[in-house]
């Protein structure tokens, strides 16, 4: 081999080896530019989360609310929920081509949703709930063929939901899974009924028993009850509060998939409880209420309907407070006397 041939081989080797690196750097810069554009559209960041945690001196994969893929280091999830942010969504977010999850729930984002988001064909979960978005509901939602979870409640959108959304196979599969899990809500799986619907026992694909709360949308207040319970349960974590597994929302169907309590409610206990069990249950309920009233961040939760039927017991007779459908969120400036609601008996 001549000297010139050796040089050519070396040159080819260098080009091939740096090619993927150059592509990765370009993609990484694209994602960073998109996120920085979003940051520039935030007009109020009261907790200084993006102001201090989104710095160009650190990798975007270490930024708060950002998740990257392990191999390609592209942004796969952006979760800015419950950060009290105010601002608008820039079209640049449509460049996050590897994005699977986009959650902005419970902020004060406003304006319309940019058409460029339609390019995010890999999206599986969208949650824009409880912001101040306006305009018509984008038709392009229906083109996101991989979409499995979708929430835009609590905004100021106008018009009806685009019909194409309800033809998405992934969303339909989610509802069908709930039907299969409960034997199509057969009476034999019925655990109980409440003011806004019924609760059924089900078993999901991995063999875990769950309780599926199906809302009767013909009852006045059922939509509001679903939104309230989904909102509160999604943002609380305590050993004595019932855990939410998922929410399912479609035009004619609302359901919550909840942790299953094998020993039923305190109201329906068939055998008398001993004194130790009673004391433990009282302590469990008090602990849950203390968390809701005082330890749940800046907003305190008032249950409004604590009763034996809403206290559920697990395998170990540990009590879990359930049914937060009429719960109210109180800010620090709100008075307890302002919360007047009709409770069930």
The structure's pTM equals 0.52
The active-site residue, picked from 31, 284, 305, 323, is 305
Q: For position 9, what pLDDT does the model report?
A: 45
Q: How far apart are CA 249 and CA 217, in angstroms?
A: 11
- State residue 304's pLDDT score: 77
Query: Would you kindly state where each structural domain of the chain is located, as residue ranges?
Result: 3-167, 172-259, 266-338
Give pLDDT, residue 12.
42
Query: From first to last of its 345 residues, what are the pLDDT tens digits of the chain?
Result: 555 554 444 444 444 444 444 444 445 688 999 999 999 999 999 999 999 999 999 999 999 999 999 888 899 999 999 899 999 999 999 999 999 999 998 899 999 999 999 999 999 888 888 789 999 888 888 888 888 777 776 788 877 666 666 556 555 545 555 555 555 566 777 887 777 888 888 876 566 788 888 888 788 888 887 777 777 776 677 899 888 777 777 666 788 888 889 898 898 888 899 999 999 999 999 998 898 888 655 557 777 778 888 899 999 999 999 877 554 544 444 443 333 333 343
Q: What is the DSSP letter of 342?
A: P
**The pLDDT of residue 98:** 94
Q: Helix-strand-coil percent breakdown of the chain, rounded to 5?
A: 35, 20, 40
Q: Which structure tokens are listed for 192?
A: 């109980």
- Distance (Å, rounded) from C-alpha 209 to C-alpha 201? 7
Annotated binding site for ATP: 213
Q: What integer pLDDT is reported at residue 178 of this predicted model?
A: 53
CB of 233 within 8 A of CB of 213?
no
Neighbouring CB atoms inside 10 A of 276's CB total: 9
CATH classification for the domain delimited by 172-259, as one of 2.40.128.640, 3.30.200.20, 3.90.420.10, 1.10.580.10: 3.30.200.20
Binding positions are 213
Q: Does domain 3-167 have CATH number 3.80.10.10?
A: yes
Pick the CATH number of 266-338 from 1.20.120.530, 1.20.200.10, 1.10.510.10, 3.40.309.10: 1.10.510.10
220: nearest Cα among 197, 241, 202: 197
User: Per the structure block, which two tokens stand in for 212?
Assistant: 């599926």
Q: Annotated catalytic, 305? A: yes
Which residues lie closer than 8 Å to 278 by C-beta, 6 or more apart?
Answer: none
């Amino acid at each position: 081999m001549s000297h010139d041939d050796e040089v050519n081989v070396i040159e080819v080797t260098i080009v091939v080896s740096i090619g993927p690196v150059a592509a990765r750097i370009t993609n990484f810069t694209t994602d960073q530019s998109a996120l920085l554009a979003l940051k520039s559209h935030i007009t109020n960041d009261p907790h200084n989360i993006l102001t201090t945690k989104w710095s160009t001196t650190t990798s975007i994969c270490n930024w708060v609310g950002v998740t990257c893929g392990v191999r390609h280091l592209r942004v796969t999830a952006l979760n800015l929920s419950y950060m009290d942010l105010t601002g608008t969504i820039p079209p640049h977010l449509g460049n996050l081509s590897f994005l699977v999850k986009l959650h902005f729930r419970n902020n004060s984002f406003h304006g319309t949703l940019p058409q460029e988001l339609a390019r995010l064909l890999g999206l599986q979960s969208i949650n824009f709930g409880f912001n101040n978005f306006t305009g018509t509901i984008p038709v392009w939602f229906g083109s996101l063929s991989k979409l499995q979870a979708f929430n835009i409640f609590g905004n100021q959108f106008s018009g009806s939901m685009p019909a194409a959304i309800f033809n998405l196979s992934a969303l339909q599969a989610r509802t069908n899974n709930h039907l299969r899990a409960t034997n199509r809500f057969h009476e034999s799986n019925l655990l109980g009924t409440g003011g806004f619907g019924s609760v059924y026992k089900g078993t999901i694909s991995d063999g875990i028993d769950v309780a599926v709360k199906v809302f009767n949308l013909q009852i006045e207040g059922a939509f509001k009850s679903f939104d309230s319970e989904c909102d509160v349960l999604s943002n609380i974590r305590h050993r004595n509060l019932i855990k939410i597994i998922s929410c399912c929302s479609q035009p004619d169907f609302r359901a919550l998939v909840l942790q299953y309590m094998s020993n039923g409610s305190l109201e329906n206990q068939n055998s008398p409880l001993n004194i130790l069990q009673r004391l433990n249950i009282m302590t469990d309920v008090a602990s849950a209420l203390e968390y809701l009233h005082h330890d749940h961040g800046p907003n305190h939760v008032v249950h409004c309907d604590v009763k034996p039927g809403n206290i559920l017991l697990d395998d170990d007779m540990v009590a879990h407070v359930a049914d937060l459908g009429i719960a109210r969120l109180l800010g620090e400036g709100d008075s307890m006397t302002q919360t007047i609601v009709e409770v069930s008996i």
